[in-house]
Amino acid sequence: MRLAFYAPLKPPSHPVPSGDRRVARLLIQAWEKAGHRVELASRLRTRESDGDLARQAELAASAKAEADRLLREYALRPAVERPAAWFTYHVYDKAPDWIGPRVAKALGIPYLIAEASLAGKRADGPFALGHQGTVAAIRAADVVFIINPVDREELEPLVGVHARLVDLPAFLDTAIYRAMAEQHDRLRREVAFRHKLEVGHLWLLTVAMMRMGDKLASYRILGEALEQLLDLYWQIIIVGDGAAREEVTQALAPLGEERVRLVGAQNESQLHSYYGAADVCVWPAVNESYGMALLEAQAAGLPVVAGETEGVPTIVESGITGLLTPMGDARAFARALRNLIDTPERRSAMARAALEKTRELHDIAAASLILDRAFHQALLALQPSA
């Protein structure tokens, strides 16, 4: 069936790589794997992060006009060419969905959303309009897919009487990453040549955009932690770029040029080679919702050392696939990483566990089944009783 897809925060076609864009693309792939035809319904971004109520009102008006445009367009299509459901990814106070509920109601089709979240503190004040829009979208939804379990507590009181909350664990196509793990030696030689790295050293890997705020805070904690490990042999590859690149460079400068390789943003195929070549993924994960890069690393057989934040424990099983430390605690992070560096047999055990766990619990095939089953149940629920 045909599915209208919408991402109010950032469309999947956005040119800047990010975890959000990555998940949006994976969701499209999962729907297509289930046999549905996905069309990007709108590229309108409703994100307003400055607390400008006037701007939020403008975006709400633009969204209403966009919804009306889509309804006129759909009315001109044959019935079989109209969407059978509307699916919105990532709805929250700063990027509400004002289009999907209006279109779905008018067409009489299921309204499905994934990764909805709310901050109660924004119910009043500068983000009140966006908060209201998000609450309205959640209440209008027939199915709310929960990717980050932390969101469930706030969502349960808001869903409608006939709506369903469905757990959808973060996922990816694990076969691609397993193939990278199997090519470890070749990829390691290629990456070593490309960046003048020592093949015999242990390689750490960080994959994260360089933005102000939580990302920069994570980089600073990482730098502080690694300063405590300069007596060990390791090098670190940093994949990512952004407005805070200079600040990130300064945070890592005490580690020395021989230790650090800043390789910039990479496309997905290039990124795979770094996952396949490295030994341990490291990321302090300040206020990280769950961390797609952590999941990708484990799917490629990398143990992870990360901050224990929000949904990260649903991705990294501490003591089994990696080690989690208290958020913001650079000393604890350094101790955990030292433990893995000093115990190669533990790293190997965690690498095997990471491969197994991602294949069993986080593969796109399982996600595709969850999405498709929930969609058909929502479709049946909307049909009039006999």
- Do residues 255 and 347 share a domain? yes
- Do residues 133 and 233 share a domain? no
Alpha carbons 99 and 111: distance in angstroms, whole number: 11
CA-nearest of 88, 108, 127, 70 to 9 is 88
Q: What is the DSSP letter of 384?
A: P
Query: Residue 90 burial by CB count (10 A; 0-12/13-18/19+): exposed, middle or buried?
Result: buried
Query: Residue 200 burial by CB count (10 A; 0-12/13-18/19+): exposed, middle or buried?
Result: exposed
User: Coil, helix or strand for 155?
Assistant: helix
Contacts of 360 (CB under 8 A, 6+ apart): none
Alpha carbons 3 and 109: distance in angstroms, whole number: 10
- Do residues 254 and 354 share a domain? yes
- Do residues 105 and 122 share a domain? yes
- Do residues 224 and 321 share a domain? yes
- Do residues 297 and 184 share a domain? yes
With both helix axes pointing from N to C terminus, report the angle between 292-299 and 174-182 in degrees, rounded to the nearest 10: 50
pLDDT tens string for the chain (386 positions)?
A: 999 999 999 999 888 877 888 899 999 999 999 999 999 999 999 999 899 999 999 999 999 999 999 999 999 999 999 999 999 999 999 999 999 999 999 999 999 999 998 877 778 889 999 999 999 999 999 999 999 888 888 899 988 778 899 999 999 999 999 999 999 999 999 999 999 999 989 999 999 999 999 999 999 999 999 999 999 999 999 999 999 999 999 999 999 999 999 999 998 888 999 999 999 999 999 998 888 999 999 999 999 999 999 889 999 999 999 999 999 999 999 999 999 999 999 999 999 999 999 999 999 999 999 999 999 999 999 887 54
- Do residues 99 and 217 share a domain? no
With both helix axes pointing from N to C terminus, report the angle between 214-227 and 245-252 in degrees, rounded to the nearest 10: 20
**Do the beta carbons of residue 110 and residue 375 sit within 8 Å?**
yes
- Do residues 120 and 137 share a domain? yes
- Do residues 324 and 201 share a domain? yes
Distance, C-alpha 287 to centroid of its chain: 13
Contacts of 180 (CB under 8 A, 6+ apart): 187, 272, 273, 275, 276, 300
CA-nearest of 24, 32, 20 to 6 is 24
Domain that holds residue 76: 2-171+363-382
CATH of the domain at 333: 3.40.50.2000
Tracing tokens 């297509």 back to the chain, one arrives at 32
Alpha carbons 96 and 128: distance in angstroms, whole number: 11
Structure confidence at residue 386 (pLDDT): 44
Structure confidence at residue 310 (pLDDT): 84
- Do residues 78 and 165 share a domain? yes
Cα-based torsion angle of the residue sequence 102, 106, 110, 112 in order, rounded to the nearest 10 degrees: -10
For residue 325, give both structure tokens. Answer: 């430390």
- Do residues 153 and 222 share a domain? no
- Do residues 123 and 80 share a domain? yes
- Indicate the number of domains in the chain: 2
